[in-house]
């Protein structure tokens, strides 16, 4: 299973049209499955290479942050392969990605954040104040 879902990739590309434009290599107007599969293998392998230093891979329940990063990385790698980005941009983005992956490897980023547990010790209640409050009563408070 790839970390980045189709919706994550569409978002990372900037919309459906750009998604198809980037991943349609045979020109039929549809994103090519084999291109997506190869990209997912490349990206997931890169992420797992860093993650396995600290976590069990593949990540069974990837967080939305990990999915978004995988999609961004896949878009970047595909743009680089297709030659639609300059060297300066590629260098800057690669540094940013390397930092993120280093943070993953050291545990500063968790690849599968568990859902926070609901507290049973606090409750919320709304109490309506029926007493009239005027300016003269509030004046002495501040």
**21: exposed, middle or buried (C-beta count within 10 Å: 0-12, 13-18, 19+)?**
middle
Digit-by-digit pLDDT tens for the chain (142 residues) are 689 999 999 999 999 999 999 999 999 999 999 999 999 999 999 999 999 999 999 998 899 999 999 999 999 999 999 998 889 999 999 999 999 999 999 988 888 866 556 667 767 777 777 777 777 777 777 6
Domain boundaries in the chain? 6-106
Contact, 58 vs 48, CB < 8 A?
A: yes
Q: How far apart are CA 131 and CA 134, in angstroms?
A: 10
Q: Name which of 57, 109, 74 is nearest 4 in CA terms.
A: 74
- The first and second tokens of residue 44, run together, are 């997931």
Q: In this predicted structure, what is the pLDDT of residue 14? A: 95
Q: In this predicted structure, what is the pLDDT of residue 132? A: 75
């Amino acid at each position: 299973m790839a970390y980045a879902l189709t919706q994550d990739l569409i978002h990372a590309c900037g919309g459906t049209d750009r998604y198809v434009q980037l991943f349609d290599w045979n020109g039929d107007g549809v994103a090519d499955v084999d291109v997506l599969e190869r990209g997912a293998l490349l990206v997931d392998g890169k992420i797992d290479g860093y993650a396995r230093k600290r976590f069990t891979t593949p990540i069974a329940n990837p967080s939305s942050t990990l999915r978004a990063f995988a999609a961004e990385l896949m878009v970047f790698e595909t743009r680089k392969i297709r030659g639609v980005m300059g060297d300066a941009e590629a260098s800057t983005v690669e540094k940013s990605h390397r930092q993120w992956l280093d943070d993953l490897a050291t545990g500063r980023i968790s690849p599968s954040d568990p859902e926070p547990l609901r507290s049973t010790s606090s409750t919320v209640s709304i109490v309506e104040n029926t007493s009239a409050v005027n300016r003269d009563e509030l004046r002495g408070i501040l």
